Structure 1
């Protein structure tokens, strides 16, 4: 019996270590899902940053106020372009292809995406009176970073999380995730540095980002700074297909810098 238990223990240990090693070695392929480069009729610009070529789609050129939008980890900016352009006709909107996504070179990583996002902001800010920031899912981690380091008129966070470390820890509770992950996207630690009025939109049936992960973020904001809205009967993926989704964003961002 002791030999059997010992063998079982060895097999379990090997399985545990093997799975942990797999997660460590493949973590970025489990976090980032690069989208192909799809042609679009919208204006496109490219800037160089840290040796990479970063591709931007520009919607509704020529407006005084702008929106920078950072999408989810599998979201194609080219495919999102038509709907976003239609919903925000009074704003110039900039959609950034993450490194390795669309027309951008390189491989996605947290520090690189932060640097690209700040470079985008600094590049377009002289052209506009004010800039609002929108982020969805993974993009909320980038949006909070920009809002903590630059002047932002409004900040809209769709299905946000407190940190990727905490999200992953819920998914893999038996592993020491904080020691394994390279990219943490710790939005929670930056909230006190954000001065912009903020909207958080929650999908009631979100199975990817749990209520606790979003609630931790909500609790960190000053109550007079934050609006929280829930879209019922929608999940993490189909939240933007609800008729009220863009209405919430439009009402919040408004026509100006207020």
Structure 2
């Protein structure tokens, strides 16, 4: 019996140690900063904020239309510039590099990224009154919250989740994720506040964000505000390979 008690004590101590490690290092499991592949002065906007300097990959264009894009947790958003420039010739493009991504300074967190998103929107909207907000994967949580705070013209969410907390709980089922997670990205909280036309695009075989999570998020929008489309045969990282991806994207604008 004493040996059993000692074993249980060791296992409990190891479990608590694992919980502490998960709490301390959790952001390194969420954010995977990437360098910029396209980094010329003509394609870069510097956006100073209170405690950092953000870099934004841009394609300038005069006129009322603009598109702001928030990417995934391991995405170099600059790689979208050539394709987006061709697909959306009438829109100015602004693709945010999160803190520590693509040369931006600072450390990423949900609240810091959200403040940065608001700062970028306010800057863009002042010059382009019809500003579309787009978020992919991690960025879908940024985009939906921003659209609940600012007058976006349209909202497009690609491989969106109901909440990051749900995804983390699925990946780490033995840990009390609800209590440990700092950045929960609870998109469902903001969906009901959205009043502009919204498109959700999910991948049929998404191995990172289950399609069911996108479907749950969809139910939180007011009736008639959002539509959900599923690209067949594609996964989380291959969704953009489908011709339907940009077709639906363009149609939503």
Give the C-alpha shift of residue 20 in structure 1: 1.3
* Counterpart in the other structure of 1:154: 154
Give the C-alpha shift of residue 19 in structure 1: 1.9
For residues 124-163 of structure 1, the aligned pairs below 5 Å read 124-163=124-163
* Contact residue 130 and residue 153 of structure 2 kept, 8 A: yes
Give the C-alpha shift of residue 137 in structure 1: 0.5
Q: Which moved more, 1:158-167 or 1:10-19?
A: 10-19
State the alpha-carbon separation in 1 of the partners of residues 235 and 157 from structure 2.
15
State the alpha-carbon separation in 2 of the partners of residues 123 and 60 from structure 1.
13
Give the C-alpha shift of residue 10 in structure 1: 2.6
* Counterpart in the other structure of 1:9: 8
Q: Which moved more, 1:209-218 or 1:34-43?
A: 34-43
* Contact residue 160 and residue 200 of structure 2 kept, 8 A: yes
Q: Which moved more, 1:139-148 or 1:165-174?
A: 165-174
* Contact residue 203 and residue 211 of structure 2 kept, 8 A: no
TM-score between both structures, scaled by the size of structure 2:
0.94
* Contact residue 132 and residue 152 of structure 2 kept, 8 A: yes
For residues 94-113 of structure 1, the aligned pairs below 5 Å read 94-113=94-113
* Contact residue 60 and residue 89 of structure 1 kept, 8 A: no
Q: Does 1:75 align with 2:75?
A: yes
* Counterpart in the other structure of 2:33: 34
| Runs of 4 or more consecutive aligned structure 1 residues displaced over 4 Å after TM superposition | none
Q: Does 1:90 align with 2:120?
A: no
* Contact residue 198 and residue 225 of structure 1 kept, 8 A: yes
* Counterpart in the other structure of 1:256: none
CA 60–88 in structure 1, closer or farther in 2 if over 3 Å, else same: farther
Q: Deviations over 1:71-123 (max 9, x none)?
A: 00011022222122222112111101100000211111111111111001111
CA 238–127 in structure 1, closer or farther in 2 if over 3 Å, else same: same
Task: Give the gaps of 5 or more residues in structure 1.
Answer: 254-258
State the alpha-carbon separation in 1 of the partners of residues 119 and 88 from structure 2.
23
State the alpha-carbon separation in 1 of the partners of residues 221 and 38 from structure 2.
39
Aligned with 1:193: secondary structure? Answer: coil
For residues 178-257 of structure 1, the aligned pairs below 5 Å read 178-253=178-253
CA 39–248 in structure 1, closer or farther in 2 if over 3 Å, else same: closer
Aligned with 1:54: secondary structure? Answer: strand
* Contact residue 60 and residue 90 of structure 1 kept, 8 A: no
For these two proteins, the number of residue pairs brought into alignment is 252
Q: Which moved more, 1:88-97 or 1:37-46?
A: 37-46
Aligned with 2:135: secondary structure? Answer: strand
Aligned with 2:192: secondary structure? Answer: helix
Q: Which moved more, 1:69-78 or 1:124-133?
A: 124-133
